[in-house]
Structures are given as structure tokens and as C-alpha cells.
Amino acid sequence: MSSLPVYHVAHIFSTCGFISTVVLNLSFIFLTIFHTRQIDNTYKELLIVFSVLCLIFSFIEVLVHPFFHSYNGGMINFNMAKWSNEVATYLIASYSGVYVSIVSFFTILDYDEVSLKKKLFNPLVSFFKGWKLIILLSWSIFSGIIGGAIVLHLGRIDDYSRDYMRNVMLEHYNLDVNEISGYAVVAYDQNGNLRWISLIFIIASIAILGVQFLIVGVCGLQMHFRMNEMLKNVSETHRRLQKQFFKSLVLQITSPTLTFYIPAVAILTVSFLNLEWSLPTGLIVCSFSIYPPIDSLILMLI
């Protein structure tokens, strides 16, 4: 059974996501630069950098339109772009790296945002001024490089993975697996033994994402308890305002968790369940396309 119609639906979805991202993020950058007066300059710069990262992510996505297919104990990320295999492979690795950078940068952005909105003392805000902003950005850049390297070196499609997915790719997409670029996870070998390279790839990928969300969770809890202490000595009006700010944090944590983190972890780990199925799971990660415009909307509306 051909899965090409599903691929084309995902292709249209990611294209629409790209257009939405360009319109909303450029609008957000314009508003932040020329019409936002009441926030710290460092935080404004962080917002602009974050929006640019989202634009880069969507741009790379529309260049290659990566798609996933899961088959029994295997998963493959591939594309039908007209690039050479080498160029497409590096684009996919870059796409993954920017994905991790966005998640990483989100931890920095959210911590600063909540601190500023609640008017609490935050050493990050006071210290990272001017050129020191580069130090703050280095965490996101470093995480992105590690994420891209994991895909490029641990997820590369080897001969066993190509043989495992050969018939599936021909049947569902009319593609010769030898001409496919991207990355793959095949959990078990022909004897049913665990393939360690796949396990290491999954653990490394989940770990680098998990660290970012752990930081967000810890910072969120700290802000929650600090806010509760602070609200004891403020007016009812100010108390409602601060609670609204905390709700915005919850929304900004929930959005990437549902659209970025959970779909990625699900796609990567399901191969180890060794289910007897063949499914175009790329439709699930269409959520990647909608996160950048959704986040811009959240930032503009809150």
C-alpha cells in the first residue's frame, strides 16, 4: 500500500508551517525592535535570536521536507528532495541541530522571561549584557552542534538498516533505499539481539533533549515557589497579574513539550517495541512545523 498521499499531505503541512513561521516571526521581530519599550534590552535580543532560530529551522525543513516511516523494529528518516545524498544528509543533521538549539534556547528564554515579568532579581539578566550575551548563547550553540553530530555519526543509515527497510521503502514510496539520505534506527539485528549503535543513538538524543526540559522544569518550580512567597505582600490586582504571568510560563512549557519533545521521543523509541506494523509516522511529527508560529503567537499575545 502506497504511503505517498500521506507524504504529500505532510509536505503541504510543512510548507504552510513555513509560510506561517515567516509571517509571524518577521512580524514579531519587527514589533520587538520598533514597538517594544518596556522590557530589558538583553531580553529583547534573546527574543530576536530565538525568532531567527525558528526561521532557520523552518527554512531547512522546507528545503528537505524530512519524513519518517516506522516498520517493525526500525524507523527511517528520509526525504525526496533533489539534493545530492551528501548535501541532504548534512541538511538533515543541520535540521536536527537547530531543533536541539531551539529547545536549548527555550530554557534560557523562559527563565529570563519569567524573571523579568515578575520583576525579581535575576543574575543572568544583570550579568549578560553586551558581548557577554555570547556566553549565554554558547549553551544553545553547543547543544545544537552536539545534536547535529549525534544524527550525523550515530544515526547514519548503514548497510543493515538499508537492507531492513529496502522492501518497505519500495512498496510505500517507490524509492530505492540506496538513494535515500537521512538517518535510521533499527533496534535489533537478524538474530533478535539489540543493536548497540541504535541504543546509544536513542539514549544520546533523549538525554540532550531531556536536560533542556529538566532545566525548564527546575526553573519553573523555583519561580512558582518564589512567586508564592512574593505574592503574600502585594495587592490583589498585582497578585492576579503575577498569576497570569505564571500561566504564560505553563503555556510556553506545554507548547514545545506537546509539539517538539513528546513526538520526537515517541518516534525514536517506538522501534524498540518491535511492533508488527508499517506506518508513515512522519505525519505525527508535522507538529514540528507548527511550533515556531505557535510560539510567536504566544509571545505576541502574552
pLDDT exceeds 70 at position 119 = no
- CATH code where residue 58 lies: 1.20.1070.10
pLDDT exceeds 50 at position 219 = yes
pLDDT band at residue 121, thresholds of 50, 70 and 90? very low
pTM score of the predicted model: 0.87
Per-residue pLDDT, 271: 93
CA dist., res. 204 & res. 296, Å (int):
29
pLDDT band at residue 129, thresholds of 50, 70 and 90? low
CA Rg value for the chain:
21
Give the chain's mean pLDDT. Answer: 84
The predicted-structure confidence for 220-260, as pLDDT tens digits, reads as follows 676 666 666 666 666 666 666 566 666 666 777 788 888 88
Q: Nearest 5°: CA angle at 163, between 159 and 168?
A: 140
Write out the three cell numbers for 219. 526553573
Residue showing cell 527554512: 59
Give the pLDDT mean for 263-285: 90
Identify the residue with better confidence: 7 or 106.
7
Identify the residue with better confidence: 182 or 45.
182
Could you list the residue range(s) of the whole structural domain that residue 9 is in? 4-301
User: How many other CB atoms are found less than 10 A from the CB of residue 239?
Assistant: 15
CA dist., res. 36 & res. 144, Å (int):
29
Is the separation of the CB atoms in 1 and 172 below 8 Å? yes
Residue 199 makes CB contacts below 8 A (sequence gap 6+) with: 187, 272
pLDDT exceeds 70 at position 205 = yes
The predicted-structure confidence for 40-88, as pLDDT tens digits, reads as follows 677 788 889 889 999 999 999 999 999 999 999 999 999 998 899 899 9
pLDDT exceeds 80 at position 115 = no
Per-residue pLDDT, 221: 72
pLDDT band at residue 103, thresholds of 50, 70 and 90? confident
Dump strand ranges (E) for 107-231.
183-186
User: Exposed (0-12), middle (13-18) or buried (19+): which is 282, by Cβ within 10 Å?
Assistant: buried
pLDDT exceeds 90 at position 14 = yes
Is the separation of the CB atoms in 169 and 69 below 8 Å? yes
Per-residue pLDDT, 5: 93
Share of the chain above pLDDT 90, in %: 51
Q: How many domains does the chain have?
A: 1
